[in-house]
Structure 1
Amino acid sequence: MSDAAPVSYRVRPRVWIGLAIWVAYVLLVYVVQLLAGVPYTDLGKNGGTLFLGAGLSLIIGTIFLAVTASLLGWWRPALFDRQHSHHRWPIFVPAVMVVALVINLLSTDWASYDGGFFAASIVLLLVGFTEEMTTRGLLLVGLRSRLSEPWVWFITSAAFGLMHLINALSGQSLGLTIQQVGLAFLGGTVFYILRRTTGTLIWAMVLHGFWDFSTFAVGHGTPGPLAALAGAINLIAGILGLIVVAFTFRGVSERTAVPAAHETTEKAAA
């Protein structure tokens, strides 16, 4: 998008609002999953456990985020940057992640799938919308009201990683959860790079959704011999992301721009 007129908001972006949305989403997911009673380690057993343990919270989370974005008037800045990053070549990093995703799909034991598990797996695609909208969408909009873009990248990626800590409360071992948090930080960096190089969060939503779909798919049944390679390539993508992410926020300011009329109204009300 071009750096044209400032966006008009129903509610002016604030850091605390973005953080509050993140906290609310994490708590919502945790409570829904807790009430469903499906341990994290049992999610992939069958279609029923996958839907109750993950899909249901994603559906409710999608509704919550859509309503929140509408009430705040933050849809446009959550989904689109005012400018692409000056350097577009870092897009090769998410392309490496796509390679890992394809290997996952090629390594999946599709014969082990039944209709119920496939349907529940499709619902998992919503994770691309919910987790991206929460972190690199609404939280990002709030952070940009006060912070420079390097901090926006770091905090949104850290928030994305930390939201996975609830998996330890749902039955996953603490060691595996901490490892997952670190990998999610790297993955968040890849998704951030995709947003900055394309100028929109939509492609990050798509890649994120299909990545999670592919990881559950390859873990069902007996994976092919190349399955481990996908994890290694994904790790490489995350490391490369850390190396090149600085190029995506050089020379471009994405700080929240508020119309002068909006600022005048706020000052008059103060």
Structure 2
Amino acid sequence: MADFWQSKDGFWNRGGWWKALLVTVAYLAVYLGIGQLVGLWLGHLIDEGGVFASARNVAIELLLPIGAGAVIIAAFLVAIGWLKPVLGRQPVRGRPWMWIAVAVVAYPIILRLIGVDYGGFADGVVVVALITGLFIGIAEELVTRGAGVALLRKAGHREITVAVISSALFALMHLVNAIGTGFSLTIVVLLVYTFFFGICMYLIMRVTGSIVWAIIAHGLTDPTLFLSTGGIDTAVEGTQNIWLTVASTGNWAVILFGLVALFLIRGRIGEPAPVAAAAP
């Protein structure tokens, strides 16, 4: 059985976009199932006032389901012998222009860290939210930029295809936000943003040479966004906080840069790297 999963001609090592989709859908099913179980077992402990009303709320509603999801996707990668390669050095060299993705993602994080009203949260909320963000980064990056990218590369796709499909799968994961609220304009905007955020995460992974930096960037983006708005997938509206106002431009910066990047991504596993003069 181990040979079936891990051999050179094994099921996963043959790659394929549909296998990347399969991993994503399976992860979502497990994540949602765990969320339901946690709600049934611990829902009576949730305090009134929303997810960020208490550290216990954040732990029950966010940390436990996403933490379990992170452990499960990591265990899956271990089982098929991929965790070490996924966490290892990227096989495709990044280009200097890709560092722009780091700046585009980093500046809103920094501004939110400065501008968040930490005193407005109950004890422990900020700490648990930051820990939750780390697990979000681990889980979602291992699913999409980890397993997804590896499966697409093993199928022989060019890097632009790898970037687009893995980012589309990342956006697909956020369709769960429509559960209970319905498919609205807000969800459409969220899907567009998450697609291009996925492109930025792919570029960060490429230019730094490691998925670890994408995990860190992702793991800081979500909790600082939650804490700056007081909710999930909530925009900053009517604030007089200059730090958060400027940080809110980061969403458009991600979308615009991600759109331009689609025309610049090159390469394929096994192709020789172009000389510096010919690099885009």
Number of residue pairs the alignment of both structures matches:
246
Match of residue 98, structure 2, among 82, 90, 105: 90
Conserved 8 A contact 2:53-2:122:
no
1:162 and 1:26, CA in 2 relative to 1: closer, same or farther beyond 3 A? same
Deviations 1:20-50 (A, max 9, x none): 22111111222222344479x9333332222
Alignment of 1:71-90 (within 5 A): 71-79=79-87, 80-85=89-94, 87-90=95-98
Structure 2 counterpart of 1:32? 34
**Structure 1 residue 73: deviation in Å?**
0.9
Moved more, 121-130 or 222-231: 222-231
Are the structure 2 counterparts of residues 99 and 217 from structure 1 closer, same or farther at C-alpha, using a change threshold of 3 Å?
same
Matches within 5 A, 1:36-47: 36-37=38-39, 42-47=50-55
CA 170–105 in structure 1, closer or farther in 2 if over 3 Å, else same: farther
Residue 161 of structure 1 is matched in structure 2 by 171
Per mean C-alpha deviation after superposition, the further-off stretch among 183-192 and 12-21 is 12-21
CA distance in 2, matches of 1:172, 1:56: 25
Tell me the residue number matched to 1:12.
13
Q: Are 2:115 and 1:100 equivalent residues in the alignment? A: no
Q: Distance in 1 between matches of 2:183 and 2:36?
A: 16
From 115, 123, 139, the equivalent of 2:148 is 139
Match of 1:23 in 2: 25
CA distance in structure 1 between the aligned counterparts of 2:183 and 2:37, rounded to whole angstroms: 20
Question: RMSD of the TM alignment (CA)?
Answer: 2.7
Cα 1:23–1:255 shift into 2, 3 Å: farther
Gaps of 5+ in 2: 1-5, 232-238, 272-280
- Secondary structure (helix, strand or coil) at the match of 1:144 reads helix
Would you say 1:230 and 2:243 are equivalent positions?
Answer: no
Alpha-carbon shift at residue 173 of structure 1 (Å):
6.4
Measure, in 2, the Cα distance between the counterparts of 1:45 and 1:158.
32
Other-structure match for 1:218: 228
- 2:59 and 2:240 map into 1 onto residues whose CA distance is 21
Could you tell me the percent identity over the aligned residues? Answer: 25
Q: 1:255 to 1:67 in 2, by over 3 A?
A: farther
- Report the counterpart of residue 185 of structure 2 in structure 1: 175
Q: Larger RCO: Structure 1 or Structure 2 (Cα < 8 Å, ≥ 6 residues apart)?
A: 1
Q: C-alpha deviations, 1:113-152, integer Å up to 9, x for none?
A: 3333123213222111110110011011111122221111
Shift, 1:13, TM fit: 4.2
Unpaired stretches in structure 1, ≥5 consecutive residues: 1-6, 257-270
Indicate yes or no: 2:194 matched with 1:184: yes
Distance in 2 between the 1:77 and 1:255 partners? 16
TM-score calculated relative to the size of structure 2: 0.78
Kept in 1: contact 2:111–2:247 (CA 8 A): yes
TM norm structure 1: 0.81
> Judging changes above 3 Å, is the alpha-carbon distance between structure 1 residues 51 and 183 closer, same or farther for their aligned structure 2 residues?
same
Q: Post-superposition shift, 1:244?
A: 2.5
Query: Which stretch of the first structure deviates more once superposed, 103-112 or 119-128?
Result: 119-128
